[in-house]
Each structure stands twice: as C-alpha cells, then as structure tokens.
C-alpha cells in the first residue's frame, strides 16, 4: 500500500510518501520508487529513489502525475503499486 502525503504536510511545503507492507520488507528486498513527472521532448520523464519512504518538496508532488513503488527480491516476480496524484 502506498500512502500519499497528508494535506497538512503539503500546506507546510513538504510531501512524504510511504510504502507499507504486511510484516514489513526483509532486508534482502530491493525497494524503489519511480516518479512520472511529465513529458520532455515527447517522452515521459522519470527518476528513481530507493527505500520505503520518499520525501519531496510539495511543489514536486504537485508536478508529478504518478508514482510507482516496486519491491524486488532475487528472481521473484516484483511486487508493485502505482499511485496517481489525482486519485
């Protein structure tokens, strides 16, 4: 489950997104965020961040169209969830 930033936090100019998992993630899992932040030269522009918590300036949250969280472990099928900012 991906939790979006609270309205109170956004009013303070900050945005924290968290990924929660039942019983947490073991240390041998790779955790990554991928943000879709619009288009540049006709192609989606994105960037990645590792870890279960992502902290951003609020203005970056407002420019983002979606965020995807992915957890991978070895050759297992990745577990992922996408949060659209307009949801």
For the stretch 47-65, pLDDT in tens is 666 788 889 899 988 888 8
Torsion over CA: 85, 81, 39, 17 (sign): positive
Mean pLDDT taken over the chain = 82
Q: Which of 12 and 87 is assigned the larger pLDDT?
A: 12
Please, are residues 30 and 76 in contact by the beta-carbon 8 Å criterion? no
pTM: 0.75
Q: Return the SS3 of 30.
A: strand
Enumerate domains of the chain plus CATH numbers: 2-84 (2.60.40.10)
Please, are residues 20 and 14 in contact by the beta-carbon 8 Å criterion? no
The CA-to-CA distance between both ends of the chain, in Å, stands at 14
For the stretch 5-47, pLDDT in tens is 999 999 999 999 998 876 666 778 888 888 776 655 555 555 6
- What is the model's pLDDT at position 15? 93
Tokens of 41: 């030269």
């Amino acid at each position: 489950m991906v939790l979006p930033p609270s309205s109170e936090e956004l009013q303070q100019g900050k945005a924290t997104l968290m990924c929660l998992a039942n019983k947490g993630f073991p240390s041998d899992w790779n955790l990554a965020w991928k943000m879709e932040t619009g288009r540049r030269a006709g192609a989606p522009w994105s960037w990645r961040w590792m870890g279960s918590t992502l902290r951003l300036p609020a203005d970056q949250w407002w420019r983002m169209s979606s965020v995807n969280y992915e957890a991978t472990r070895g050759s297992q099928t990745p577990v992922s969830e996408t949060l659209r900012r307009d949801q």
